[in-house]
Structure 1
Amino acid sequence: MELRNRKWDLDYFNQIREEVLKMWPTGAEVDLEEAVAYQKEIPAHKRFKDVLARAKKEGRTLIQPRAGVALINEHIDLLKYLQDEGEADLLPTTIDSYTRQNQYEEAQRGIEESRKMGRSMLNGFPAVNHGVAACRKVVESLDRPLQVRHGTPDARLLAEITLAGGFTDFEGGGISYNIPYAKDVSIEKTLFYWQYVDRLVGLYQEKGVEINREPFGPLTGTLVPPSISHAVAILEGLLAAEQGVKNLTLGYGQCGNLIQDVAAIQTLEELAIEYFNKFGYTDCQLTTVFHQWMGGFPQDEAKAFGVISWGAVTAALAKATKVIVKTPHEALGIPTKEANAAGLKATKQVVNMLRDQSIEDTEKLLIEKEMIKKEVRAIIDRVLDLGEGDLVQGIIKAFQAGVIDVPFAPSRYNLGKILPARDNNGAVRFLETGNLPFDAEIKEFHEAKLAERGQVEGREPSFQMVIDDIYSVGKGMLVGRPR
């Protein structure tokens, strides 16, 4: 059967579901009707969709950390600390790497080793192994909405267990949790896997439980041009909506130039509304998430707080619905709970101070917004052409042709012909556009911006600029200037 962008027939879904729930013994704990009943008992202040909707209406930017450890009680203690001491508005559960690769036996060994050693030997929470009851224990122990954050190409069983366990938000998508994370997983496979996840969320919706879905915005990090991440986020959102998802948070990762980042968050929502309306998905609630700096961090904690605060400023001025917060230990490894809470408190202070401030529609901001929109429309409209109206086939063919191309991605299903670099003001531009469907006007805009930097630095725009930009923030600057 050729994969199409069509809402799954319930009989077909249930046929696949039988196989999914047998992937690990805890799948037998899932009872959809009982899970729906459990979800309906979760109060509004612990539901992602309600908290996000209220924040958007009030013009507030919510803060959310990343966090997860191997054992149940320790995971609860960590999240309680981030809730109470870190003042987090929303809470995560970051999933361990073995679970992300569906290596549940290895995850089980990690749990057992963690018990023996008295500390987490996994880099996240193995929700599949712990099962539905354990997830509910986590949910019931906390007073904030909980989201599953992971990086899993095949997240079907993870979704089944965590949604039955009371989580009200599930992150990821068939592009954003494949291309940046996996080398040998085909686009067809992950689009199929994530159609299942979205159909599951759609089933909860049909039964009266609204789950928020969040495609992963940053993709491969801080040098991803806004039009690339926007196109992916909107396409994943449209695929989810076709399966019945009604609540979506679309994301973007900080690039570093304030004007470009504000323009990016604003255009992400504007373009999403445009395309959702075009496809007839007019009853979806759309919100935005801004990811603080996803690149290299300074090792010095004081300098790291500067990077964190800059991300907080940008999120607040862009009016993102929420911001994913980094810690001052980013350059050092897994952060302590104290460091994680410190990043949260620094961010909350900034977003609260800037809540009533905004950036005016200056000429520079309007130019950035218009260019982002032109680029995104060029990509998505070409995807539609390639698929002859079918998004799934269009996406598959677009990756084959390089019409969608994610810089620095490990996937062999990604063409890898585009190269980004910063212009003289630190905005991310295209050094090489590869096979992206851009017209002469768009290409000339990027060439002129990079030529301006080259003149200032006395060098031709080249791959060396890309390398310099990758390491620049860790060395204290945004633009990677030559010494």
Structure 2
Amino acid sequence: MKNKRLEADELEVQRQEVLKQWSTGAGVNLEEAVTYHKAMPAEKVFAAKLAKAKAEGATLAQPRGGTTLLQEQIDLLQYLQDEGGADFLPTTIDSLNRQNRYQEAEKVIEDSKKAGHSLRNGFPAVNYGVVACRRIIESVNLPCQVRHGTPDARLLAEITLAGGFTDFEGGGISNNIPYAKNVSLEETISNWQYVDRLVGLYEEQGVRINREPFGPLTGTLVPPCISHSVGVIEALLAAEQGVKNISLGYGQCGNLIQDIAAVRSLTELGEEYLAKFKYKGMMLTSVFHQWMGGFPQDESQAFGVISWGAVAAALAKATKVIVKTPHEALGIPSKEGIAAGIKATKQIINMVRNQALLNSEELEREKEGIKVETRAIVDKILELGDGDIAVGTVRGFQAGILDIPFAPSRYNAGKILPVRDAQGAVRFLDHGNLPFDKEVIEFHQERIAERGRIEGRDPSFQMVIDDIYSIGKGRLVAIGSV
């Protein structure tokens, strides 16, 4: 395994095997799919709308959402478009398709049809196939993205891209380490080289497909340098396979200064490393995910969390914000709940978008600190791989040079411990084997010690536990045990 573009014959051999994984693979015809995309109205092309938003400094809103039954999925997206006012639309994939368990998904579809309603969350796109995916695309007037958490998304990509989706989420790290326990990085990086090369093939024939690595990772208290490092690595892997449109994502931590600094530094770092490796003609945009951790059960408090995320996204000038709902803590949200989250978010964005950007010495220090930490990780990974980012990533995870907090994967060291400082910014209580210098380590220790003095307790694992639950309990920084 190397970070090298797949040869045409190698890809074609793989494609013949992948398309046989489920019967709907027979419905994929790449040449016909290219023709279908080229006939698509411009307003349905994800990359085109992102490029316009980036040029205008606008922040656009996208929800999540997926259902088992095709007509319910169409009804959901039409509602989010017409009533919710979404700028982009999702199709979130079901858990069985994510695990390539298509036979079981088929039974759920049949049982849902008999019941007259969807029995599971998420849309089983592989089972439905190309024609059904096109029914979704043709039923709405907005760009549609495939959202999922699939370690092996090769067949899913084949079917949904041929089906007219113009954005595909995920990556070899971000769809493995936070989601799976026993899947190796060698396997998932290889799987996602296939996905990215497929996107590259569309690109070479004049079809713009946007790729979005999953930024939040495990979602709770992920320090910016960790998610940034993964984003940069997955951008480099995608670019090598011919991807030209990439959206780098970041999950809200909660401290306004840190969140703005993180979004601004993310695309700057992406552009820096893509230029370093001489990838040309790239368009990078940013994605801000509203709080991915525990939510308050109270609906009014939940709207407060959503609105705070909208403020951060708007002030940071993120190109897109992924919207949460006021019912996050209560189960699968209704279409009305999803729409309410979109409306609340867009109200904030519209109020903030013309205001001057927040600038301060503290913001610049935070941004530069994130860059220093991210470069330390990515550069060490490149060193471990003798310049090859794919090889270095595998070795880096083995050594704990890159380590994702609270991840289930046995290929992840799991040694780092993040915690909030007194202002709510996420710092390292334990930096594990991350390749930081003394100055960086002391900075984190000092900020955490300051919180300890204010709260009258020694920094410890109890602080980490408190912070995991704090927003759900109505605070950003937990003072004492919550």
User: What 5-or-longer segments of structure 1 have no aligned partner?
Assistant: none
1:464 pairs with one of 462, 465, 480 = 462
1:388 pairs with one of 371, 382, 386 = 386
Secondary structure of 1:249's counterpart equals strand
Cα separation, 2, equivalents of 1:413 and 1:360: 39
Deviation string 1:380-418 (CA, Å, 9 cap, x unpaired) is: 000000000111100000000000000000000000000
Shift of 1:118: 1.5
C-alpha RMSD of the superposition: 0.6
Residue type of the partner of 1:273?
A: E
2:347 pairs with one of 337, 346, 349 = 349
The residue that corresponds to 2:453 in the other structure is 455
Residue type of the partner of 2:231?
A: A
Say whether the 8 Å CA contact 2:307–2:345 is kept in structure 1: yes
The residue that corresponds to 2:209 in the other structure is 211
Secondary structure of 2:168's counterpart equals strand
1:248 pairs with one of 232, 246, 249 = 246
Residue type of the partner of 1:275?
A: Y
Shift of 1:481: 1.2
Residue type of the partner of 1:196?
A: Y
Deviation string 1:253-277 (CA, Å, 9 cap, x unpaired) is: 0000000000000000111111110
Secondary structure of 2:182's counterpart equals coil
User: What 5-or-longer segments of structure 2 have no aligned partner?
Assistant: none
Q: 5 Å matches for 1:256-275? A: 256-275=254-273
The residue that corresponds to 1:44 in the other structure is 42
Say whether the 8 Å CA contact 2:315–2:358 is kept in structure 1: no
1:225 pairs with one of 215, 223, 226 = 223
**Total equivalences in the alignment:** 481
Cα separation, 2, equivalents of 1:118 and 1:55: 40
Shift of 1:141: 0.4
The residue that corresponds to 2:291 in the other structure is 293
Shift of 1:248: 0.3
The residue that corresponds to 1:120 in the other structure is 118
The residue that corresponds to 2:403 in the other structure is 405
Shift of 1:121: 1.0
Residue type of the partner of 2:197?
A: R
Q: Does 1:422 align with 2:420?
A: yes
Shift of 1:192: 0.4
1:309 pairs with one of 296, 304, 307 = 307
Cα separation, 1, equivalents of 2:187 and 2:170: 14
Q: Does 1:145 align with 2:139?
A: no
Shift of 1:222: 2.7
The residue that corresponds to 1:444 in the other structure is 442
The residue that corresponds to 2:475 in the other structure is 477
Residue type of the partner of 2:383?
A: D
The residue that corresponds to 2:168 in the other structure is 170
Say whether the 8 Å CA contact 1:66–1:94 is kept in structure 2: yes
Cα separation, 2, equivalents of 1:9 and 1:284: 21
Deviation string 1:260-295 (CA, Å, 9 cap, x unpaired) is: 000000000111111110010131000000000000
1:158 pairs with one of 152, 156, 159 = 156
The residue that corresponds to 1:234 in the other structure is 232
Shift of 1:228: 0.2
Cα separation, 2, equivalents of 1:394 and 1:303: 43
Cα separation, 2, equivalents of 1:403 and 1:149: 28
Cα separation, 1, equivalents of 2:272 and 2:400: 24
2:105 pairs with one of 84, 107, 113 = 107
Shift of 1:116: 1.2
Cα separation, 2, equivalents of 1:246 and 1:370: 27
The residue that corresponds to 1:325 in the other structure is 323
Shift of 1:480: 1.3
Cα separation, 1, equivalents of 2:66 and 2:358: 39
Secondary structure of 1:411's counterpart equals coil
Cα separation, 2, equivalents of 1:188 and 1:56: 34
Deviation string 1:84-113 (CA, Å, 9 cap, x unpaired) is: 000000000000000000000111011011
Deviation string 1:351-392 (CA, Å, 9 cap, x unpaired) is: 011111243321110110111010000000000000001111
Cα separation, 2, equivalents of 1:234 and 1:468: 31
Residue type of the partner of 2:224?
A: P
Q: 5 Å matches for 1:189-200? A: 189-200=187-198
Secondary structure of 1:196's counterpart equals helix
Structure 1 segments of 4+ aligned residues over 6 angstroms from their partners: none
The residue that corresponds to 1:278 in the other structure is 276
The residue that corresponds to 2:33 in the other structure is 35
The residue that corresponds to 1:15 in the other structure is 13
Secondary structure of 2:129's counterpart equals helix
Secondary structure of 2:225's counterpart equals helix
Cα separation, 2, equivalents of 1:282 and 1:436: 31
Say whether the 8 Å CA contact 2:93–2:123 is kept in structure 1: yes
Secondary structure of 1:460's counterpart equals coil
Shift of 1:129: 0.2
Say whether the 8 Å CA contact 1:405–1:416 is kept in structure 2: yes
Cα separation, 1, equivalents of 2:435 and 2:48: 39
Cα separation, 1, equivalents of 2:417 and 2:281: 37
The residue that corresponds to 1:363 in the other structure is 361
Say whether the 8 Å CA contact 1:318–1:358 is kept in structure 2: no
Say whether the 8 Å CA contact 2:261–2:366 is kept in structure 1: yes
Q: TM-score, normalised by structure 2?
A: 0.99
Q: TM-score, normalised by structure 1?
A: 0.99
Shift of 1:171: 0.1
Say whether the 8 Å CA contact 2:269–2:371 is kept in structure 1: yes
Residue type of the partner of 1:5?
A: N
1:65 pairs with one of 63, 66, 71 = 63
The residue that corresponds to 2:199 in the other structure is 201
Deviation string 1:184-238 (CA, Å, 9 cap, x unpaired) is: 0000000000000000000001111110000000000130000000000010011
Say whether the 8 Å CA contact 1:49–1:211 is kept in structure 2: yes
Q: 5 Å matches for 1:126-141? A: 126-141=124-139
Cα separation, 2, equivalents of 1:324 and 1:403: 29
Shift of 1:43: 1.1
